[in-house]
Amino acid sequence: MNIQRLFRAAKNSVDGLKVLWVEEAFRLEVIILLIALPVIFFLPVTGSLKLLLLLLLILLLVVEAINSAIEAIIDRISLDYHPQSRKAKDIGSAAVLLVLIMNVIAWIYVIC
């Protein structure tokens, strides 16, 4: 792999993060992560549980990014209503919801 290709790939990733930052849900989830980070490190639990909480929060950002990509693709194809487009967007949104639920369960478990 040449270094120029690596820099192009990194630039594409940074461009993707800039696009994501426009999404209100993504910004809110980043803020939640930034608030939760110090809390995680001060919780009196094992390193494994701290890592689990951190990774679940990062997973939320990853799934939000994938959901945003799905929405962008659907909107690129057509802005007209179509049941399959609605289905794809709803499933992407459901994936985000499931990861949010995973986070809530993990935080309740660790705190209690």
Residues with Cβ < 8 Å from 3, sequence gap 6 or more? none
Q: Which two tokens stand for residue 35?
A: 């608030």
pLDDT digits (tens, 9 = 90+) for 60-105: 999 999 999 999 999 999 888 899 999 999 999 999 999 999 999 9
Q: Would you give the distance in Å from CA 29 to the centre of its chain? A: 7
pLDDT digits (tens, 9 = 90+) for 6-33: 999 999 999 999 999 999 999 999 999 9
Asked whether residue 1 carries a pLDDT value surpassing 70, the answer given is no
24 among known catalytic residues = no
What pLDDT score does 6 carry? 92
- Domains of the chain are 7-111 (1.10.287.3610)
Catalytic residue among 23, 24, 64, 71: 64
